[in-house]
Chain A
Amino acid sequence: MNPFSSGTRLRDMIRAIRACKTAAEERGVVRKECAAIRASINENDQDYRHRNMAKLMFIHMLGYPTHFGQMECLKLIASPGFPEKRIGYLGLMLLLDERQEVLMLVTNSLKQDLNHTNQYIVGLALCALGNICSAEMARDLAPEVERLLQFRDPNIRKKAALCSIRIIKKVPDLAENFINPATSLLREKHHGVLITGVQLCTDLCKTSTEALEHIRKKCTDGLVRSLRDLANSPYSPEYDIAGITDPFLHIRLLKLLRVLGEGDADASDSMNDILAQVATKTESNKVAGNAILYECVQTIMSIEDNGGLRVLAINILGRFLSNRDNNIRYVALNMLMRAVTADAQAVQRHRATILECVKDLDASIRKRALELVYVLVNETNVKPLVKELVDYLEVSDLDFREDLTTKICSIVAKFSPEKIWYIDQMLKVLSEAGNFVKDEVWYALIVVVSNASELHGYTVRALYRAFQTSAEQETLVRVTVWCIGEYGDMLVNNIGMLDIEDPITVTESDAVDVVEIAIKRHASDLTTKAMALVALLKLSSRFPSCSERIGEIIVQFKGNLVLELQQRAIEFNSVISKHQNIRSTLVERMPVLDEATFIGRRAGSLPGAASTATAPSVSLPNGLAKPAAPLVDLLDLSSDDPVAPSSSGGDFLQDLLGVDLSPASQQSGAGQASKSGTDVLLDLLSIGSPVQSNSVDILSSNTSNKAPVSPLDDLSSLSLSSRSASNAGPVIDLLGGISSSPPTENNGPVYPSVTAFESSSLRLTFNFTKQPGNPQTTVIQATFTNLSSNTYTDFVFQAAVPKFLQLHLDPASGNTLPATGNGSITQTLRVTNSQHGKKSLVMRIRIAYKINGKDTLEEGQISNFPRDL
């Protein structure tokens, strides 16, 4: 033997490593050993290859790199003796995995060993193949494995069966080759072969429907018989576990029967008796018996319905659920979860016990139980269940709270019977676990609050109270700040008092205190601070007495390090100090946020099918008949869109402002604002002022005519003073001017004219022409006809288009529309489609006019343009 090669034995190396006191020391020993092994490998030392491999495996287990030993595995496998092969295959399985290319080199050795005369060597090769084979190897060696399924020794047959499972998982196409040999394994008496054969058949059934049909037809009865023989077999010491003969075989047979019985009444029928027998006769005082019962229940619940058996199964689960062993309770919860779909009523009976499990000490059980409760909730039991869960929230572990909070919020949102209950529960959750509440959840809460006008006062007072105790919950703070900003006056004056509340005395400065605390708290993040700043601006108008103090707070933020806050503070400060006359209009209450749109947006799709002509709404939502309203409203499209737009219309709404104008982003506009300059618009929007990029257009188009200009002027001057530079991408012509213009000459291709908009009082038709040589641009002549018996004065038509379109409006032919179709107004629009040929035109319109001096407004969306415009 070579006296210079590494001398330590495996045992000595392990001892040396174990004797190490520190990790560094251990690394030293391992480095030395590895160096010796590498040296030995380089010398191609045959005698120590065996021992080196064993050492490497140990070193590998400690987590050190051992890739340099991979080739040694192959050499050991290729050597003729059994001991070398044994350790070689072990190393192969341990040091390599199926993704390493080295593995391909072993295919040939494997093939030889699969045909070896020594059955133990065949066994080693099968074992290695079953544990690590890749798809390529599976393809190459499948015929050998298939042949070995009929080998004389049962121990090889069982190994070959499990190896086949791996092969068909890697290459499902090969499944059909295995169907016949697999079914013949089912007739064996040897338990090992039977267990593996049943397992192989189960996997075959899952991979190929052909196999499923074949086995269902040929083997169901045989399997039922095997199970019966097994269940009735006398005591056999070799396979006995806790008084039951071979529970493993029991379970596998039940599993295969389940696969065969699913969706097949005949097969299900033939196994009813034996399932009933197993379910009733199996001892349930040991793990093995319970494992069989558990499997049996699963089978009963999965196969075709048999009322009696189901009752039996649910009873077993009920027994499991009241068991004191945590493992049994865990599997019961697990199984009830699957049984819910089959028999929800029966599961509901165990609701109280399940609810107890939510409060269990064991995290695994809690998690299961919570999921089960979640599927058990319905309209009738939501109130008591949520009460329990919310109560538990107070005492639950911190790491469980996140899960619990999410589930409660989701249940409350899904099943809340009334808004006040929803608001109550959400406030409880926010005050208990507000830091775990996801953004969508509190956005949704604000949408609901804004829609429940009769609860505004109640909500803001409840939030005020909650804030006094739970000011550390970020999301609670945000919602509180938002609500105080919007409904602060209701808080102070106890407006909208419900019978159930106690009146509280809150002064104006108390309300400002809350916002001040929120904005000055160090833990508050940017979103909260930005929301607080907006709330302060709003309060400055609502509470004139506190205006000065608010001004001071805002001034403190003029030097804030966060650009967003600084900028906002400067803007708001100038609004407060220099623009008293328009402040109250600016800080109007937010228009009601549209629930349907919000929920639809959350679900990822907009509500409503594609409707070509949208129904016009004559009455204005939430009474926005103020002078500035049309403008605000037009910009604020998503929040009070009265009709469900078609899906393209939805994009259009978003495109219009060039930002994602979800209600959520409006509320937290400042949070997003740091991302792009465009978002700045949102903030201004939320207080009711126009987008500055548009304001330029508004000014230029309106100075030329005598439309109701003054409010617009005010607004635009505000935005110009606050920020004149426009950084909002392409400029969109939102509003057109109004004056007459001669119709343009038509000499392009002919398009049919369409009735773009029709209501009981007004009709709008479009005629289309294209200028030759400029296919992208369409000239639209709009003709307005009065269908009512009143004359319309101060008629203004406005239109808006998504970003990919450019719109130019010529002045209208007049601003008075005679009654009953006795005349018309015409106006020319020029639309340039930058996506010509890909997208068709869409347009959103708004028509304002006066009937006997009274303002009227109609709006709608036009998407029935001819294609190819």
Chain B
Amino acid sequence: MEETSDRLNPGITPEFDPKTMRSTKPGLKRLFITTSVLFSFLLGVPFLWKSVEIYRSPLPFHDIDSLSDQIESTPLRFPCNFHAVFVGFPSTDPDNLRSQIQDGINQLTHQNSQCGSCNFSLSVTVQNRDDQCSETLAHSSTTCSYRCGVIKRNVFGVGVDDTVDESLNDVFSGCSEESGKVYSVVVVNKENANGGDEVKAVVGKRRHAWIVGNGLEERYGDMVARVSEIFVKVFMTGGRDEDSIQGEFMPVGSDGRIVLSFSLLNSNPRDWVYDWDFQRIDEALLAPVTKALAPIANISVESQVLYHTPKSSFSSWDKKLQSYIFRTSDLPFFVNSNEWHLDTSAGASGRSKILQFVVYIPSGKECPLLLQLPNGEISKTNGFISPMWGGVIVWNPGNCDKDSESPSRNTISPQDLEQIVEIFLGQFRQLFGFKSEAIYTSGLGTYKILPSERGFTEWELDVLSRKHTCFNLHSCSTTLGSLSRLVRSLPRMIIKDEIGEQVKYSLKAAKLAQSNASLGGYSSSASSSREARSLAENAFFHPSIMSVSYFSYEHCFAVYSPFFLPVAGHVVLAALREWRRYKQEKAKYLTWLTRKKTA
């Protein structure tokens, strides 16, 4: 019925309910505005993400791991060449001798390849009484072949050891670097009828040693044993105890520098005041030592004179010796750090090692002051060392009476200064792990060791280079390993470019050191290993690696959410609301359209 009435009245529109219908198409403007704002926000998200990205310089973790594995698994060995010359022996088979010596050496090294030991190649030459030679050569090394007959038996035992050393040096100095240095031992059999039975063994200043004796052709076994001992105990390990604790006798700072700080302590300047001409001894006596040790450490020297520096231990008067005695039990209490302001170095950076060498001049009340050793003897050097710290020498002024008037100002005489420097060099050697005596004693006998004016003989420098290369490489690899573990455990820590570069250069230097070592360049491998270690330490101790200052994810969220969350919330909600509204209006419009159609 309604339909009819509707058709009869065309002017009447269909029922219009504004709540569910709308007559015009809903506009898109509002939706467009809100979604465009939302879209621009979304566009900005990648930029925000990029801006909070942590910059981490890529570290070569794989290379670091492989370096440490390499160093752990294969201890570094250096090529050395051993050459034994037997002079004055009847023609013997050198191959036999060679195998005997080789067995002896292997026995002494127990086949344990410790880091820094020698991958040796042995050659033996026998020169008989008529100066004819028969020799075995480990490999065809033509530059180092020994010219027969050059060594004359009459040189030995006649002159002073130093002249013998010089003459031997002329013989063996022709060897140039091939793969490693050549160490030679000359065994001389003299035919002195009235000579005694004693066998003298001397180790020279360069890389040769000699044994002289009578009737040695009877005692081949003995000679072979002594030759092997010289090769292993002296040339390979430097006369040091093999079980010396690693690191205790390596006083090189982690930046490869040592600062030698010399102090002259006037304990009571009211009694007397002493001064010294340090410049002179620095130039004349210390400079050669510094230069000799250049591949191992960059050494700088400084000196100071201090006043009013009493010691903190006590000494007792000994009537028999007519002097004041302090004992070894007093030594830990000797250094009075409260009043001895030794550590005032201006030149040492944070990671250098400072070695303090102190010359202590006792006061008038304790003059002369002597050190008594546990066995009751009086120490001839009147000094002591402390590993990794330095050494102290007590120097007594020649005349212990003091003037009751003004204190005398004196300068230490050059001769006394020379003696003091000699003791310093002995202490310096001890700080590096060498013995300060000039004799090496073993079960087979004693060997006299000739000292060098540079403080260290060449073979000792070789030993130092090898040991320090080992230590530096080991330290470098552990440092880099620690650094890589640390970096991997903190994924949001900033790693600067500088650190990445230092790690890269450190790895490069370590590889260079290893290749130099395999080629036999002891000092070059020592200096590149030193560089590797110092770069690794710089990278590890870089001040930017502080765990407090890295941004964890929670931190990042907590920083940015107060800015973006409220605004983003509003924008998203607005867009959603507009979208919903649009859909509603669209539905209303569609309803109206269908209504109109059906009407």
A and B, one complex?
A: no
